[in-house]
Amino acid sequence: MSRPRVAHLIRTWVAPSETFIVGQVLGSVRTDPLVVARKERPGARELLAATAPPPGERSALLLTGDGLSPLAQRVADLAWRARLLTEREGARMAARLRAAGVALLHAHFGTDAAFFAPVWRRLALPRVASFYGYDAGKTGRRAFGLGRRYLARVFREFDALLVPSQDLHDDLVALGAPPAKLRKLPWGIDLARFAPVAGTNDATAAAIATGPALRLISVCRFIPKKGLADALAAFAKLCGAGVAAHYRLVGDGPLAAELATQARALGIAERVQFAGFVAPTELPALLRQHDVFLQPSVTAADGDKEGVPTAILEAAACALPVVATRHGGIPEAVQDGTTGVLVPEHDVAALATALQGLARDATRRRALGAAGRSHISAHFDLARQNERREALYAELLARRATAAGSEAR
């Protein structure tokens, strides 16, 4: 018996920071994934090389603009600038999905679910939408309430709304989402890839954790909600207290120049490395070269906030203790005092104190890291979370089949 085909809808396949979506698509076992996007990033198509395309298609990635006439393509590109999908694109894509035998739609980000309305309203299929963070907090505040109205149709027309944390669940309820449709289902990470140094005994681990300088790392986009300005300020306090330490920031973004200027102004530029993005294949080894993971996330001025940051899960799985803030879904990934240390948002002094305490206690760092690995294994295993996601698909498909049978009678 063939597996049901699931179309994963996302405006752009796929940003470097959206590995949590890639893991869901490629981690499908009981369903055949098919990605539908408006745009693709260079090299993104190769991620799907092992995924079988539907009959008549050249890959498992379908772009809404494929096959449009030159005039229709120009109109579609103009609409894209306003973040709209044209009716012509929607009609053509709905026909392609129908021909491909798609049985269920899964939109990634609530905003993308709304964007693809010209596709899904033409298809009487079960619909799932995953919300990840900004698509609840930031979008809900846009344009004097228009953002809330933008999501209202998704709340009404989709069968299940997935969230990674209780915090995001509460945000969606406040925006008008029906509680009965909400399911808390965090994504997971590959525990085989993100793991502590293999084969280390207690003596080796102790040597790794007691090097000449404390090695801190953050992995994220350089945007306001990541709290990197607070991180640099806290790191400066740590250095000012006489602690030998180095801080590596992995990533890039609109705040890169501003953060580099801040590091120079604080007199810590020689101890801070802006490493840029690293390939996903290199990240586990890089994490294992550090002692503490730092992510003091905050709610940005425009309402943007975290769901559950994937980088925190990856670092904890590598047995790094995490210093972060009580923000969004972070408290569900980091147990304060057990797997890491949590402080209030924007509390630079508390951040510095937490770092200073860990710098002077390698034994505690190892204990927190080991507990973090156990916590991630129990609650954020990729295979287990994908199994839960596909069980939801099966539930919705069975419900739709039962309803269709009742109508036929």
Supply the pTM of this predicted model.
0.92
CA dihedral 197, 236, 277, 300 (to 10 degrees): 110
Is residue 381 classed as helix, strand or coil in its secondary structure? Answer: strand
d(CA 396, CA 263): 51
Segments of the chain assigned to CATH 3.40.50.2000:
5-188+381-408, 202-379
pLDDT, one tens digit for every residue, the chain (409 residues): 589 999 999 999 999 889 999 999 999 999 999 999 999 999 888 989 889 899 888 889 999 999 999 999 999 999 999 889 999 999 999 999 999 999 999 999 999 999 999 999 999 999 999 999 888 877 766 655 677 888 999 999 999 999 999 999 999 999 999 999 999 999 999 999 999 986 444 444 444 444 579 999 999 999 999 999 999 999 999 999 999 999 999 999 999 999 999 999 999 999 999 999 998 899 999 999 999 999 999 999 988 999 999 999 999 999 999 999 999 999 999 999 999 999 999 999 999 999 999 999 999 999 999 999 999 999 999 999 999 999 999 999 999 888 877 776 6
CA distance 35 to 297: 30
Instruction: Provide the Cα torsion 260, 266, 268, 269; round to 10°.
Output: 30
Topology of domain 202-379, per CATH? Answer: Rossmann fold (3.40.50)
Q: How far apart are CA 203 and CA 384, in angstroms?
A: 33
Q: Which residues contact 12 (CB under 8 A, 6 or more apart)?
A: 37, 38, 39, 40, 41
Helix axes 310-317, 362-379, angle to 10 degrees: 120
Sign of CA dihedral 388, 389, 394, 398: positive
For the purposes of burial, counting CB atoms within 10 Å of the CB of 59, is it exposed (0-12), middle (13-18) or buried (19 or more)?
middle
CATH 3.30.450.20, domain 5-188+381-408, yes or no: no
C-alpha–C-alpha distance, residues 390 and 409, integer Å: 29
Task: For residues 384 and 187, give the distance between their C-alpha atoms in angstroms, rounded to a whole number.
Answer: 9
Euclidean distance between CA atoms 369 and 196, whole angstroms? 9
Name the nearest CA neighbour of 306 among 125, 60, 136, 139.
Answer: 136
